[in-house]
A = this chain, B = another copy of it.
Amino acid sequence: MDGSGDRPKSKRKSSWKKDPEAVKANILEIATEEFAAYGLSGANINEIAQKTSTSKRMIYYYFGDKEGLYCAVLEGVYASLRNAEDKLEVGNLPPVEALRRLVKATFDAHAKAPHFIRLVMIENIHNGDYLRKSEIVPKLNRSIIEKLEDVCSRGKKEGLFREGANALQLHWLISSFSFYNVSNRATFSASFGTEIFSKAMQSLVKDRVADMVLAAVVIGHEPRSWD
């Protein structure tokens, strides 16, 4: 797209290299941090502006208002997670292994995307009002479902999976513990201690839920990790 000549990167704003995309990206990055940290009403436009390399005025220039910025942030984190998921390739694995890998990868992906988690929580607090306006988000979420559908159909065709195995339900299930594991860490810890969130326990738990999912849909699967 640009591939143009060399731009003397002086790092200072003395060279004045107008780069709107960089400005927008910078704003979005900071805004993601802030909205994730404090929510829509809790975040502060002044604070966001101060942490960017540009001014408050530019936020309004590019994003219209606080809600516009929030929407952009929301779409950004959804797109990010999809990217992570898209990179996962399980089409070549046999169904059982593919499913196990999907579960564990989803678990890890959520653990590594706290911003996404928090912003989705926040968006749910707002009843999904802003997500519903998005035109790109619904499309983004097709890919993970398609992967699960592929695995399920292959599993059934090979006589390995139960007939009731269902991609949407599996996604709901896998998401639930993957999400909850991050989203409710604070209150869960306050109530039951931090033990379950130690590195070792997380690894164990991940194995167990993967095993559990397999036990649910794979005929005759024995969930050895629970022994």
* A interface list, Cβ under 8 A from B: 1-7, 38-42, 60-65, 67-68, 118, 120-128, 131-132, 134, 137-138, 140-141, 145, 162-165, 168-169, 171-173, 175-177, 179-181, 183-192, 195-196, 205, 208-209, 211-213, 215-217, 223, 225-227
Which residues of chain B come closer than 8 Å to A195, judged between CB atoms? 168
Beyond A126-B186, A215-B216: 7 further Cβ-contacts under 8 Å? Answer: A1-B65, A38-B125, A39-B42, A121-B125, A162-B223, A165-B226, A216-B226
Which residues of chain B come closer than 8 Å to A7, judged between CB atoms? 61-62, 64
Which residues of chain B come closer than 8 Å to A183, judged between CB atoms? 121, 124, 183
Copies, count: 4
Q: Report the minimum CB–CB distance from A219 to chain B (whole Å).
A: 9
Residue contacts A-B, CB under 8 angstroms, 26 given: A3-B68, A5-B60, A7-B61, A40-B42, A41-B42, A42-B125, A124-B184, A128-B187, A131-B190, A140-B191, A141-B191, A162-B227, A163-B227, A164-B208, A164-B225, A168-B192, A169-B205, A172-B177, A172-B192, A172-B205, A173-B212, A176-B181, A176-B184, A180-B180, A212-B213, A215-B215
